[in-house]
Amino acid sequence: MIKTPLHQKHLDLNAKMSPYAGFEMPVVYSSISDEHLAVRKAAGIFDVSHMGEFIIKGKEALDLVQHLTSNDASKLSPGRIQYSCFPNREGGIVDDLLVYRLFDDQCAVGETAFMLVVNGANVKKDFDWVESNNSFDTRAIDISDQTALIALQGPEATQILAEITDLDLATIPYYHFKKGKVAGFDNVLVSATGYTGSGGFEIYAENDQIGTIWDLLMEHGKKRGLKPAGLGARDTLRLEMGYCLYGNDIHDKTSPLEAGLGWITKLKKGDFIGKNHIAALKEKGVDKKLVGFKLEDRRVPRNGYAIFNEAEEVIGEVTSGTQSPSLSCPIGMGYVKKEYSSPGTAIWVQAGKKMLRGEVEKLPFIKNL
């Protein structure tokens, strides 16, 4: 089991540790609800060093990224970030990812560079995918093992981070990044993407720097309600926002169009892996859609539970579910036949012998954050 550079910090905080993506990761420190609400109301700090980072650098770096991903990376200027996915040759999803357009001072003359941030469970699979499809004059470098990552999330995140950095955080808009001094360390990358919906920053640093950064954030965050948060709260937070989790809501058999990710699938940008399959599905129309739903019962929907219509016909399947700490009710996501995907549609989820009544909801569940 791999340990992140912050492993001892989690043990010192009495975190409940569990295997995840080949790592021993903190799932919860106090309670999922307590950590979740801290992020919504103040701030939470997550160790997400299990995530993977690849550098794509060379004369044809953009060509490779365009070939591999569904979104249009040519629209990125240095300092900007894009949500995207790796389609496979059948139009399914190898992984979803973030594409960072790095600054030109990090490149040789005539070169460009990107950083791809991928899911921790898929690092080897994704890098093999990149390498096997790289026929361009560029190189891919896996820097995952030497890169640590903290996510500082919540409405107090800016005030907390500002105390240990010389970066002007107000000049880092959503889906942008800068590099600067953090906790006395130079060239630390700070971005603003978020997986919680409550704002905040991601801090990419070297393994031997991240412990100091963690300690200083924890120290300065005490007066602002900062709490360490584990993967349990990370999951409930992302689900309230309707964000997909790879392996649950999207995988190699789901199309980005079925998953509501048509907005990151730019069919007019030129050729890319899987484009023909995705274009054919768009012309034909999808048969199923990923939707969010709330349940009236107190029981939580689980991955794999069947979804029914009023006539007790199976119309889909749950992919993610939880008890929403913000809404105090069970919520979930799942694929249903297209005709049952409109908000307000009544559905039933089977949990054992019990049928739980619910209703399709427009995502995100949490609005006006």
What are the C-alpha distances in Å from 356 to residues 320, 325, 327, 348? 15, 19, 18, 5
Give the tens place of pLDDT for each residue, 79-118: 999 999 999 999 999 999 999 999 987 777 889 999 999 9
d(C-alpha 199, C-alpha 369), whole Å: 9
Interatomic CA distance for residues 317 and 333, integer angstroms:
9
User: What is the pLDDT, as a whole number, of residue 307?
Assistant: 98
Q: Write out pLDDT tens, residues 165-200.
A: 999 999 999 999 999 999 999 999 999 999 999 999
For residue 367, the model assigns a pLDDT of 82
- Give residue-wise pLDDT tens across range 218-231: 999 999 999 999 99
In order of their start, the domains of the chain are 1-285 (3.30.1360.120), 287-361 (2.40.30.110)
Instruction: Convert the pLDDT of each residue in 21-52 to its tens digit.
Output: 899 999 999 999 999 999 999 999 999 999 99
Name the pLDDT band for 369 (thresholds 50, 70, 90).
low
pTM: 0.96
% of the chain exceeding 90 in pLDDT: 95
Instruction: Tell me the C-alpha distance between 156 and 41, whole Å.
Output: 8
For residues 206-221, give the mean pLDDT: 98
pLDDT of residue 60: 97
